[in-house]
Amino acid sequence: MQNIKPKTNNPEAYNPDQKERDILEYVKLRVSALKDTKKNVLGNVDFTEIMRSADQEYQPQDLIDKALSSASKSSIFVQDELTGLRGSRLVAGAPEGNDWRSTISEPTLYVKIQTALSILIDQNPTATFKAILEKYEETTDLAKAIWKRGWEIGNAKEAIKLFIFDLAKYGWAIGRTYPRIIKREKEILEELDTENPENNKYRKSTVVEYNDIIREKLDPYRTWIDDNTNLTDPYSCRDWYFEKDYSRDLFETEFGQYPNSKNVTFGTVVDTGDDDVTSKTQNKRDDMVTVGFYESKDKDLYTITVPDQDILIYFSPLPNDEGRLSCWWNYWTIRDPRTPYGIGLYELIKADKVLYDRFSNMSIDQLTMAIYPMIFYSGTPTQGDGKLTFSPNSIQQKLPGTTIDQIKIQYDNRAPEMISRLKERMDDNSGITPTLQGEVQGKTWEKLFTLKILH
């Protein structure tokens, strides 16, 4: 059994040489520039805020539950009618007695994204290989066999599925391809002593869980690419950077062979995508550390750092012989040729979705008021606050001299038509139409299935 006694967190002081200092300074400056880019796309677009809003809209919750987590349930969640972004304003202290009002938020974005995934990925896609040069024709079948092996063993299908999920929701997604090896030490039983189990004999062995090329979908919140990247020049992305959190055990397994790893202090904030300081403090874990990875074509540089401690764990030239970056990214639809950050389904439907939810809830409220009308009475006052409630299957005595007036609410039949139009507009703008979602006009799948059997 491995030593499971917790290690004390008393690392040695980090004392980098001049070359390490120069590399650290350069990487810090570049990372700072890369991180600022996503907050200021084309001068006025905060792409990180768009991703947060898309995450909030994707979750199947009602409008109140989509409010800030620290807000009271009695608060009113107000939407920005100009931008359609949720969380723009939270009005606390909603008047009592409004719990009857509808706060439904249809999971439109969820449905659109799941439909896109089923169309693009769940149909078991395949690839066609064609040699560009004649000398590669004999190895085409070998290349396809390697690709198929990676598709099946390397779980590439699920990685690409998650990649397309980010594409559809945010408008931009990124991943990387690299050789990965996962191994660990294991003791295997060789001799069993049933009477005295403590005398069992074991031999040490190394278990290799995975040793192949892998395609990994990265977190778009914690991945940044060259600020000069554009769609006009396919070679414009010259460097990139991403961060990942590691537990103490996994960090020692992955990076324990590097001398500078012994200088790392554990205890870091687990990034939840929330800028709130209180939230980050609450998510701090003593057994975690954040590791940053940077690659640069122009500097032929690959680094592994602990950014919050300014420790350079490892550096080298780019690992592959061609000096290429290991990342791959794409966009859903083009925002502008000057930026790689595209437009996803959320941005396409957000404005109509605000109106759709508003009219849907107003229609439900109007129908509720038509069924349960407001009633005024005059006459002998009742005890308490003067409010009465009515219910079916009950008989109440009418007090002498009491007059009862009812406000009649006429349900507007134009509301369903407006709601239907808004839904159609979201379908048209997103490109995910009812036909793609499995709906056939004028027929049901049961009828189609029956006709297929008869013929």
Q: Which residues in 175-200 are b (16+ Cβ under 10 Å) and which e? A: bbbeeeeeeeeeeeeeeeeeeeeeee
The answer to the question of residue 333 being in a domain is: yes
**Token pair for 220:** 């778009």
Range of the domain at 239: 18-61+105-343
The answer to the question of residue 91 being in a domain is: no
pLDDT of residue 73: 43
Alpha-carbon distance of 146 to 237, in angstroms, equals 27
Task: Tell me the pLDDT tens digit for each residue of 57-93.
Answer: 898 877 666 654 434 444 444 545 444 444 444 444 4
pLDDT of residue 167: 93
Number of domains into which the chain is organized? 1
Residue 382 pLDDT grade (very low, low, confident, very high; cuts 50, 70, 90): low
Task: Tell me the pLDDT tens digit for each residue of 363-379.
Answer: 877 777 777 777 766 76
The answer to the question of residue 351 being in a domain is: no
The answer to the question of residue 163 being in a domain is: yes
pTM across the whole model: 0.75
The answer to the question of residue 13 being in a domain is: no
The answer to the question of residue 80 being in a domain is: no
Identify whether the C-beta of residue 273 lies closer than 8 Å to the C-beta of residue 221. yes
Q: Which of 37, 34, 36, 45 is nearest to 343 (CA)?
A: 45
The answer to the question of residue 119 being in a domain is: yes
Residue 415 CA: distances (Å) to CA of 107, 366, 424: 20, 10, 14
pLDDT of residue 194: 87
Alpha-carbon distance of 174 to 331, in angstroms, equals 9
Task: Tell me the pLDDT tens digit for each residue of 263-291.
Answer: 999 886 655 445 544 444 445 678 899 99
